[in-house]
Structures are given as structure tokens and as C-alpha cells.
Amino acid sequence: MSQLRTFLCIPLFVACSGKVFVLPDDDTADTASNEPDVTADTAQPVDEPDPDPYDTWLIVEDLPGGTFDMGCTRPTEWPCTDDERPSHTVTLDPFISMKTEVPRGMYRSVMGTAERPPGCTQDDCALVGVTWFDAVTFCNRVSELQGLTAPYTISGTTVTWDANANGWRLPTEAEWEYAARGNRDLMYAGSSDLEQVAWTEGDSGGRPHVVGEKAPNDYNLVDMSGNAWEWVWDRKDDYSSEASTNPTGPSTGSTRVIRGGSWNDVGERARISARDERAPEHQDTTLGFRMVRSSR
């Protein structure tokens, strides 16, 4: 797989952003979980050295696109749940993906601050403690820094996506699963041996980890299973058995999908086809993201 590195000579950009995740708490929208909440009381500001420029962290891979079976492809062998069924055929255009989850240092260099989860506070740790709204705002900022068209229009708690924009964005749920599969039908992203590719409850030591410490999958992407749950664009819905091309999920719904499992989850939740959801204003020390953009 060819690797594209982005090298831009742009001065360090530090911005203080007003957060746009001012939705009221909705207990019915936020699913029950054992993830610890990150709040103002538990995430105190700490003076840190200036981070490296954001583009230091922007290592990406070209993904060829194509057709694959999405969802639970081995229901008699794997511990699939109802929301992973039925498996269905999806066709995707080529796209570009970050090799890693967004690291703390990259986020700090653009937004000015980042959560400091216990046990992994250096800049190359996976960023956690971000809402879905934080993630789309960051995508827009990086797009603008690179002279790309920002994909999202954010008005209060309403976010619309211009699919023709060439800027950085969250993957769709289908893009995420395609990237995680790496053109193979395995239980986890890159292996059927969990500990080769994923930080989960069994070996994480109760904390997130530096990005890229585990083995990559066949698309050279790391931490698609484990380390941090990853926000995607889509709202949560049941699957249809119908084939689709470049699906973007339902147009309404109160939650957004998260994928990949985390350092705080059992291995079953790090399976490629496993799905979960959170209210978009939710944040905790298991939630992160990675960015993609269209190849065109």
C-alpha cells in the first residue's frame, strides 16, 4: 500500500475555540456504558510544552475503494449482535485515511488544548475525551489550514456535510469498516489474534496508549481495533440487506455511531463488525477519532 505523507510549511496555529456541543443531556440518547466521564472536574488544565506542528502527525494511506460485505460475515463463528446483521454489500469510492487515531499533540497544535487521560499524557497518545462535535470542528480546522474546502457547516448543534468538499472529515461507518477490514475477513483489524492488534481491557493496564504500538492491518492502518473508540459520521440505525454505494447513514437520529472498541472494553467490542453509539455531545476517556478525505 502506498503511503502519502503530508508536508506543509505552515506556522504553528493555536486557536481557542468556542465549543459547539451545547446540546442538553439526553439520557435516552446516550447508551449505558462503563466508560468514565471526562468533566471539568476531572480534566484540570495543565501547562505543557508547545506541541509539534499538526502536520507532523498527519501520516496517511490511500485506500483503493471497492466492494465488500459489511456487518457480521460469520454469524455461526463470531459473537455477533443483532445490530451487526444482516451482512450486506457495500461499494465505496477510493479515499484517504489517517494511519493512526488523532494523537493528543496534533489536536493540541490546532485547538490549543487536549484532555490528559490518566496514564497516557504525552503528545503521541491517542486523543480521547472529545465529543462528536469536537471531532467535526477539528476536521474543519485542519482542512482550512491545508487550503482544502471544509466539509462541515456548523450552526449551533446542526451539522451539515458537503459531500463534494475535499477537506478532512470523519469516515462514514461503511468507510470505517472497509478500512478496518483491510481487504480481509478477520475478527479484528489485521489479525484474529486480539493482542497483536488491539489495546483492550485485557492488556491495556487501564489506560489509553501511544498510537501505533500494535501491528497494522493490510492497509497499514493501526489501532482500528482497540485503544480508542472512533466517532464516525453516521447516525445509528439498523442495517438493511440491500446493496448500497457510498452510504452515509440515516438523515435523522439522536446518536452517532462509534467503532473499534477501546482500552476499557472487552475484546468482543473490538471486533471489526461491532457497533455502538453515543449522543454526539457525550465525551469520556475512551472516545477519539481519525480523519479521512476523498481522493478526488
Residue 49's pLDDT is what? 87
Strands 88-92 and 244-245: parallel
44 has a pLDDT exceeding 50: no
Q: Give the cell for residue 181.
A: 477490514
Q: How far is CA 277 from the centre of its chain?
A: 12
**pLDDT above 60 for 29:** no
Q: How far is residue 260's CA from residue 271's CA, in Å, rounded to a whole number?
A: 7
Q: State the Cα–Cα distance between residues 2 and 104, nearest whole angstrom.
A: 26
**Whole-number pLDDT of residue 30:** 40
Please tell me whether residue 244 adopts helix, strand or coil conformation.
Answer: strand
Task: Report the chain's mean pLDDT, rounded to a whole number.
Answer: 88
Q: Is the dihedral of CA 131, 181, 161, 87 positive or negative?
A: negative
Residue 203: is its pLDDT beyond 50?
yes
Specify the CATH architecture of the domain 59-296: Alpha-Beta Complex (3.90)
Q: Answer with the residue of higher pLDDT: 26 or 158.
A: 158
Residues 236-250 have a mean pLDDT of: 98
H/E element, 132: helix 132-145
Ordered by start, the domain boundaries in the chain are 59-296
The band of 36, judged by pLDDT with boundaries at 50, 70 and 90, is low
Pairwise CA distance, residues 90 & 285, whole Å: 32
E strand residue ranges, 54-183: 59-63, 66-70, 88-92, 95-98, 152-155, 158-161
pLDDT at residue number 138: 99
Q: How far apart are CA 51 and CA 105, in angstroms?
A: 5
Q: Give the H or E element holding residue 258.
A: strand 256-259
Confidence of residue 224 (pLDDT cuts 50, 70, 90): very high
Q: Return the number of other C-beta atoms located less than 10 Å from residue 154's C-beta.
A: 14
Predicted pLDDT at 14 = 36
Q: Which residue do the cell numbers 496534533 mark?
A: 106
pTM of the model: 0.85
Look up residue 10 and give its three cell numbers.
Answer: 505552515
Tally Cβ neighbours within 10 Å of residue 59. 17
Contact 276, 34 (CB under 8 A): no
3-state DSSP of 150-185: CCEEEECCEEEECCCCCCCECCCHHHHHHHHHCCCC
| Higher per-residue pLDDT: 80 or 39 | 80
The pLDDT tens digits for 147-175 are: 999 999 999 999 999 999 999 999 999 99
What's the distance, CA 36 to chain centroid? 18
Helix (H, G, I), strand (E, B) or coil at 245: strand
Residue pair 127/103 in contact (Cβ under 8 Å)? The answer is yes
Residue 28 C-alpha from the chain's centroid? 23
